[in-house]
Amino acid sequence: MLTVIIALLVIGVLIFVHELGHFIAAKLMGVKVEVFSLGFGPKILGFKKGETEYRVSAFPLGGYVKLYGEHPETLPSVVEKDKAFAFKKTWQKAFIVVSGPLANFILPVLLFWFLFWVSGSYLLSTKIGEVLPDSPAEKAGLAPGDEIIEVNGKRVKSFDELVLYLKSKETVNEVLLKIKRGSQVLEVKLVPETKEGYNVFGKKTHVPFIGVKSTQEIVHQKHGFIEAFKLAIEKVIDITTLTFIALFKLFTGDLPFSTLGGPITIGKMAGDTAKLGFYPLLSFTALLSVNLGIINLLPLPMLDGGHLVIFSIEAIRRKPLSLKTQELIFKIGFFIIIALSIAVFYNDILKLLSGWKLP
């Protein structure tokens, strides 16, 4: 039960923020918002204020903002053209559409900002605890107690960053490490070995190996208000970059489709994270928000990214697509979304049948 409640709360917040982005942008562009709904399907409860009906609907895994004059079939009945979405300029329509995903990027920046400012960072020290015998590190003269400061000119703040850097590369011809040894700062060059291991996405592959282990020392760093904001932006950029790389690897087949999860997976992860505490749950919510923003920007019909593609085509053609073409595009998009939804639900069910239990 805890899993369901936590999952609905997390998903509800993300949906609300996404739709609020569309809502605010629509208001700024002078478009009438007819309905603001959390959830799909039949209305459970709601109220009307001004020209907008605010409602909670039966199926919580989604939401929508219904704009006046948005759908092709409603255009013949449009009376107030100045308030209709379809009659706005292309850049105004694009702004309204992109504001939903944009809100899903703003939220994690704010959440990570809060987390870095209030609780700081807990990092695995970059000090070397052990140098493996006959390894590239030993041959290069590295020793226990050396603190790694930079790798190939990139500052590393934690041992995890060093590991992540190596796992993200299939081959590294040479690594230049800047290390601190006592009061000295030295530069050490080494050539990693290539060994069988797992990359950053969990796929078995060959990864560079230098042969050092961490001291397992945890360092707590506090951050000021401004520094925390900068770190939050960097964190969101890193997550976004990794997500796009993962999507590319899914497309090329380097990452199996079975790694994708749906609402059940999200629910389990939310429940597990909630048990760790409030701050980890906020971090998970931020991560999920970035993913939601990216997914909505994919150039698929019915998603925000699909709308942006259509607006781009209209801008190039300098005239809107025909109603028949738009209807066909959205029917194709609906089919794709349903197919993807079935696929991720199938992955969830397989995980449950394999003995994966919900908390």
> Could you list the active site residues?
19
Judge residue 128's burial from the number of C-beta atoms within 10 Å of its C-beta, 0-12 exposed, 13-18 middle, 19 or more buried.
Answer: buried
Close Cβ partners of 147 (under 8 Å, ≥ 6 residues apart): 125, 126, 127, 128, 179, 180, 181
Q: How far apart are CA 211 and CA 322, in angstroms?
A: 62
Strands (E), 152-250: 154-155, 175-181, 184-190, 193-198, 204-209, 212-214, 218-221
| Per-residue CA distances from 188 to 151, 174, 214, 226, 273 (Å) | 10, 10, 18, 34, 40
Q: How far apart are CA 353 and CA 23, in angstroms?
A: 41
**Residues 234, 157 contacting (CB under 8 angstroms):** no
Query: What is the end-to-end Cα distance of the chain in Å, rounded?
Result: 8
